[in-house]
């Protein structure tokens, strides 16, 4: 048992040492156990499942608007190995997402909220940023590491305190990992996607202030629905924090990216 535990720790340590990467634009350290090719394959599979379940919009004006903005932002992202697709889903849901590999889905509910192209570009830039920054692979890697850590802890306690203690540790580890690691990590990704999404939209020629008006609208919408989740338990930053961060970064992004795009 001790030998098996020692080898488990050695294997985990080796994985941690070789699984380092850097995020695009922000240069943040990332932990990656999943290859980009694996991510893209999973994204394609998930996209096919979404299209089987969801109804695509037949409103050609809406579809053309999403595809026009999406193609401009994808060009700014300069990721030609992604096979970019832009779909409008007919559903009264204020949501959008981008799967690994560049499969973007925008719901008609959020299109009704984004009355300007700058606001819709902020939505799509944010979602495209998630794919460009490989947040899906990063979250899968974090979950895999959390699972491995839980298994090693269970082995350690199982060897010294019996199976009952091992089960208790597994339950507590799951709670601790979710609140202490996985959720905050997701909030960091959301903030990063806000910043990089603004950069991508600005490079594509959309005014960065669209992100500010978007999140003010989202704040009002959430309050009207009574959706107030405590910040420490949310997978997203609080709207107040989000708006403050956007305000702080908006001027620099406008000067460095949007004005340069306007000059071209």
Tokens of 40: 């893209």
Residue 99 — φ and ψ, nearest 5°? Answer: -85, 155
The catalytically annotated residue of 39, 127, 190, 195 is 127
Question: Which long-range contacts (C-beta less than 8 Å, at least 24 apart) are formed by 44-49?
Answer: 44/83, 44/99, 44/101, 44/103, 46/99, 46/103, 47/85, 47/99, 47/101, 47/103, 47/105
Max distance between CA atoms of the chain, in angstroms, equals: 69
- Residue 10 host element (H or E): helix 2-18
- Name beta bridge partners: 87: 105
Q: 127 catalytic, yes or no?
A: yes
Contacts of residue 28, Cβ cutoff 8 Å, sequence gap at least 6: 22, 192
Give the residue numbers annotated as catalytic, written as ranges: 127
């Amino acid at each position: 048992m001790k030998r098996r535990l020692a080898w488990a720790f050695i294997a985990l340590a080796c994985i941690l040492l070789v699984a380092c990467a850097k995020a695009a634009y922000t240069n943040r350290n990332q932990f990656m156990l999943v290859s980009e090719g694996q991510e893209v394959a999973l994204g394609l599979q998930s996209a096919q499942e979404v299209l089987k379940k969801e109804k695509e919009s037949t409103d050609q004006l809406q579809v053309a608007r999403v595809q026009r903005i999406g193609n401009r932002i994808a060009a700014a992202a300069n990721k030609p190995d992604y096979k970019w697709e832009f779909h409008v889903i007919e559903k009264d849901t204020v949501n959008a997402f981008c799967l690994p590999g560049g499969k973007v889905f925008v719901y008609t509910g959020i299109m009704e909220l984004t009355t300007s192209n700058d606001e819709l570009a902020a939505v799509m830039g944010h979602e495209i940023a998630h794919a460009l920054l490989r947040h899906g692979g990063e979250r899968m890697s974090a979950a895999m590491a959390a699972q491995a850590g839980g298994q090693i802890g269970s082995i350690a306690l199982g060897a010294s305190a019996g199976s009952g203690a091992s089960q208790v540790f597994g339950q507590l580890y799951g709670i601790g990992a979710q609140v202490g690691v996985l959720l905050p990590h997701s909030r960091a990704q959301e903030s990063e996607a806000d910043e990089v999404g603004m950069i991508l939209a600005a490079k594509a020629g959309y005014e960065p202030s669209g992100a500010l008006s978007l999140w003010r609208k989202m704040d009002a919408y959430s309050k009207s629905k009574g959706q107030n989740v405590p910040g420490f338990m949310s997978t997203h930053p609080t709207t107040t924090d989000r708006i403050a961060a956007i305000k702080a970064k908006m001027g620099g992004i406008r000067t460095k990216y949007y004005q340069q795009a306007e000059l071209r």
